[in-house]
Amino acid sequence: MEGGLSGNTVVPNSNDKSTVLDVKPLRMLIPQFPDTSEGPPFVCAPPNGPFPSGFSPFFPFSGPQGSQSTPDLNQNGLISTILPIRSFRVENASPMDAAHDTHKQKSVASSSVKKKAKVDKGSKLSFTTPINFDPRISLSERDDGNRELVENVLSRFDALRRKLSQMEDAVESHSGIIKRSDLKAGNMMMSKGVRTNMKKRIGAVPGVEIGDIFFFRMELCLVGLHAQSMAGIDYIKGELEGELVALSIVSSGGYDNDAEDPDILIYSGQGGNAGRDKEASDQKLERGNLALEKSLHRGNEVRVIRGFKDAIFQASKVYVYDGLYKIQESWMEKGKSGCNTFKYKLVRIPGQTGAFATWKSILKWKEGVSSRVGLILSDLTSGAESTPVVLVNEVDDEKRPACFTYLATVKYLKSFDLVQTTLGCNCHDACRPGNSNCSCIKKNGGDFPYTANGVLACRKPLIYECGPSCPCIRNCKNRVSQGGLKFHLEVFKTSDRGWGLRSWDSIRAGAFICEYAGEVFDSDKARQDDGDGEINEYIFYTNRLYEPFKWNYEPELVGEASSDATEDYDIPSPLTISAKNNGNVARFMNHSCTPNVFWQPIVYEHNNGAYLHICFFAKKRIPAMTELTYDYGTPCQNETEGDNTTSGRKVCLCGSPKCRGYFY
């Protein structure tokens, strides 16, 4: 034991050690104080002194009292065994932690002072999450999820990621710094237990449905669909002699995968790719490759997630869960690099709903609209929109909806003093996040309302955009709702709810979809039937009662105090818009008691006046070919006839588990 720090051994010296009681190993993280009944009161002092009267320095800080020099821990042959906390391996570290540590080690290993400076500047954004944060997810729910829980986790991730992205954009950008709000949001949620389906399993994952889409790999980890944040193969050790078993794979173009057939995937094994400091090499039958080989003979189901380019944000990808496959055969062949590559043929289990196949069909429609079955019109807008809107009927023989004139935006028939006119911004290039001198940003409470890719960061009572009177450039990112349609929309005939609206493109939460265009009327005039005997059903009322919902981020997750800030609409004067005779695609959106779209009031100036616009944004991620719906709201007393509150009530066929049974 001589010369070491083993056990509770106290190295003797000339000082009296009678006051040192049961010294604990120096690796202990919890401070150890002597019991008051056994020694003098505890007094905090620097390890090298000076010490108060009656107290002595302790090993290894047993140099002369008052010395400020750093003690030599290797003196007298003593070798310190104290190791930094990060030297210890964490067995249950999350994939996010591993990726973060790897990135950090690379940054530290760099000898470039310039690179280090960039990292330091980029670390201005730091967060401290409260210790007592309540994830609102029980331990059992973290192991096994359900549909509601999966959607809740994804919604909270979306909200947090949007907020972090907004905060990153507001910080002065520096060349070379990579902004990854998705990784930060995923790390925060994992560390605080906001996740589900942590128990690894073969086959389907509770609460995850075929066709579900994801925009970030971290989302796959949070809901337990694929636990690897970077690797394409997820596997576990099986119960049979500890052999590896493949659970899921992500096919996203990193290897030479053949994905032409929607029901067959030729998947390349992992490893062997050329890197920055290494040449391409033969793949080895180990880890994920070995797991796939074992699963071929075992015959177990493997989850397949397919990744493809986002049609709207070309630099990003969309991941779709394509269901369960089985590995039919495997072989080895020469890859493009000339090295041996493992190949695995996976065949989709029959009887599952379409997912990747739907995306393949959409690609063909975009190449030639005429290939769309049931096509009536290739562009319902007659060129009024930069992106055409197709009209389709696969249900019956109805040729088209009632005639109307297409408008791209709202039309004010007379001047309405809805909002007090204010001056535009004074930006002569583009309004930039974090610019405290921009009057439009000031009107938004100091926050830029959108992220860099044009996604709404937070829902607000009222949002101010730059208008024609602002000197900033036309494509300023604070004009999102004025840029027209970005998604390739389709008006289609439903089986029981008339005409509806859906998108050929996958839509991320917070993305702008369209404005509710039409003519602004007095409420009384809008309710009239215009003398043709038909009730006007194409009306939007801002003063209806709408189900409240929480969409913004949780302040506690970014170290902020809990906020009671309201998300409820704050419109100076009620607005009524009729789209019966003049309108746009928004008139075809049906009601749902659990909608995937919400409306946001936006104000911007035009012709020396400030006008209100009703704009629709995605409430959550929306897979392609999913019907777009919003809540029509409940009429106020003055909208109904007399005291009959059921006036105008219609049977709701939205099919939601939380359906109220009616709508107006």
Most confident of 23-37, 317-331, 626-640: 317-331
Per-residue pLDDT reduced to its tens digit, 223-243: 999 999 999 999 999 776 779
Q: How far is CA 463 from the centre of its chain?
A: 22
Which has the minimum average pLDDT: 168-182, 203-217, 479-493?
168-182
- Domain 412-481+507-619 sits in CATH at 2.170.270.10
626 or 273: which leads in pLDDT: 626
614 strand-pairing partners: 601
Q: Which pLDDT value is given to residue 436?
A: 86
* Structural tokens at position 48: 């090298």
Per-residue pLDDT reduced to its tens digit, 454-486: 999 999 999 999 998 899 998 899 999 999 999
Residue pair 225/272 in contact (Cβ under 8 Å)? The answer is no
Rounded CA gap, 615 and 480, in Å? 10
Q: Which pLDDT value is given to residue 528?
A: 54
* 471 upstream amide cis, omega within 30 of 0: no
Contacts 24+ apart (CB under 8 A), 225-228: 225/197, 225/303, 225/305, 225/321, 226/250, 226/303, 226/305, 227/95, 227/200, 228/95
Which has the minimum average pLDDT: 114-128, 175-189, 340-354, 356-370?
114-128
Res. 74: pLDDT tops 60? no
Rounded CA gap, 477 and 423, in Å? 18
Rounded CA gap, 485 and 385, in Å? 7
When pLDDT is averaged across residues 266-289 and rounded to a whole number, the result is 91
Helix axes 95-109, 113-122, angle to 10 degrees: 140
Q: Which pLDDT value is given to residue 155?
A: 98
By CB atoms closer than 10 A (0-12, 13-18, 19+), residue 363 is: exposed
State the chain's maximal CA–CA distance in angstroms.
Answer: 108
- Beta strand 411-412 with 519-521 is parallel
| Residue 145 CB neighbours (<10 A) | 25
Which has the minimum average pLDDT: 27-31, 100-104, 514-518, 560-564?
100-104
Task: Work out the pLDDT band at 49, boundaries 50, 70, 90.
Answer: low
When pLDDT is averaged across residues 257-283 and rounded to a whole number, the result is 87
Task: Work out the pLDDT band at 560, boundaries 50, 70, 90.
Answer: confident
Q: Which pLDDT value is given to residue 607?
A: 76
When pLDDT is averaged across residues 353-358 and rounded to a whole number, the result is 95
* Structural tokens at position 142: 């973290």
601 strand-pairing partners: 614
Q: Which of 540, 508, 543 shows the shortest CA–CA distance to 630? A: 540
pLDDT exceeding 90 applies to what percent of the chain? 60
Res. 117: pLDDT tops 60? no
576 strand-pairing partners: 521, 541
Task: Give the residue extent of every domain in the chain.
Answer: 199-272+279-365, 412-481+507-619
Task: Work out the pLDDT band at 72, boundaries 50, 70, 90.
Answer: very low
Res. 75: pLDDT tops 90? no
When pLDDT is averaged across residues 390-416 and rounded to a whole number, the result is 91
Res. 105: pLDDT tops 70? no
Q: Which pLDDT value is given to residue 624?
A: 98
Amino acid at 247: L
Q: Do domains 199-272+279-365 and 412-481+507-619 have the same CATH topology?
A: no
Q: Which of 632, 628, 601, 629 shows the shortest CA–CA distance to 537? A: 632
Residue pair 332/343 in contact (Cβ under 8 Å)? The answer is yes
Q: Which pLDDT value is given to residue 190?
A: 95
Q: Which of 564, 556, 560, 621 shows the shortest CA–CA distance to 191? A: 556
When pLDDT is averaged across residues 391-409 and rounded to a whole number, the result is 95
Amino acid at 211: G
When pLDDT is averaged across residues 121-137 and rounded to a whole number, the result is 69
Rounded CA gap, 489 and 385, in Å? 11
Average pLDDT, the chain: 82
In degrees and rounded to multiples of 5, residue 588 shows phi and psi of: -95, -5
Q: Which pLDDT value is given to residue 53?
A: 53
Res. 113: pLDDT tops 90? no
Which has the minimum average pLDDT: 279-283, 528-532, 536-540?
528-532
* Structural tokens at position 195: 């996740």
539 strand-pairing partners: 578
Residue pair 265/330 in contact (Cβ under 8 Å)? The answer is no
Res. 89: pLDDT tops 70? no
Q: Which pLDDT value is given to residue 81?
A: 34
The CATH homologous superfamily of the domain defined by 199-272+279-365: SRA-YDG (2.30.280.10)
Q: Which pLDDT value is given to residue 335?
A: 86
**Residue 634: helix, strand or coil by DSSP?**
strand
Terminal Cα-to-Cα distance of the chain (whole angstroms)? 84
